[in-house]
Every structure is written in C-alpha cells, then in structure tokens.
Amino acid sequence: MIDRDTIREFVGSMLRRKEDTSPFTDSDSLVLSGRLDSIDILQIVMFLEAKGIDFTDQEFDQEAFDSIDRILARIELQAPATGVSRT
C-alpha cells in the first residue's frame, strides 16, 4: 500500500541525505528544478517496485516524477486496481 505520506517521507529522506533541507509542497518541482537527479529517480522507482508497482515503462519523462502529486498520479496510472490510497 503506497500513500502520499510514504512518498513524501521517502523523497524527504533523499533530499535530507543531500543536505537539501528546503521545504517542498506536493506540487513543487523536484526534478526539473534540479533537486533530484537521475540516481534519485532510480531510487524512487526501485522503492516503488519493491512495493509492487511495475515500472516497465516507455512513457517516462522528467515531468512524470517532478513532484509528489505527479508521482502519485503515475502510480495510480500503473496500478489503478491495487488499492492505492488517494489520501
């Protein structure tokens, strides 16, 4: 089960590890702004795959992972019937 708080906490921990302690809202740019790079995206993908979301994906672009809102929307696109929480 992946909810908004889980994503937010995971992204927050990645940023903290890079000493990036600036706050971020759910709609703030994370990738296009340069706060997250491709290794971070891979970590997000691996994290989500470990939770059962399949990302064999030909539709990726930077915007798809650019904010908490977009990551959640992406998850719901991949697995609409697997009880993803909409909180």
Partner 1 sequence: MNFNFSEPMFRHARSDGSRLALSVDNLNVSYLELASLAQRTAAWLNRDPARPRGFVAILASRSVEAYVGVLGTGWSGDAYVPLNPKLPEDRLATLLEIIQPVALITDEGGRKALTGRALKAAPAMVLNSFDDLPAYNPRDRPRQMEAEDRAYMIFTSGSTGVPKGVVMPVRAIHALVAGMQEVYGFGPHDRFSKAYNLSFDGSIHDMFTCWNAGASLHPVPARQLMAPAKFIQEKQLTMWTSVPSTAVFLERMKMLPPGAFPSLRYTIFSGEPLPVRSAQAWQRAAPNSVVDNICGHTEACCFSTLERLSDPPNVTPKLGLVAVGKPLPGFEAAVFDEACHPLPPGQQGELALAGPQVAQGYFQDPERTAARFPSIDGKTWYRTGDLVVVDELGSYHHLGRIDNQVKVLGHRIELGEVESHLSAICGTDAVAAVAWPVEHGSARGIAAFHCMEGLSAQVIRDKMALRVPRYMVPQQVRRLERIPLTEQGKIDRASLRAMLEPAPDVTASELASEAECPPVAVP
Where does this chain bind partner 1 (CB under 8 A)? 13-14, 17-22, 31-32, 34, 37-43, 45-46, 55-63
Q: Provide the CB-side half-sphere exposure for 54 (13 A, CA).
A: 7
Rg (CA), the chain: 12
**Structure tokens belonging to residue 13:** 């921990």
Q: How far is the CB of 72 from partner 1 (least distance, A)?
A: 19
Q: How far is the CB of 78 from partner 1 (least distance, A)?
A: 13
Q: How far is the CB of 31 from partner 1 (least distance, A)?
A: 7
**Structure tokens belonging to residue 39:** 């290794």
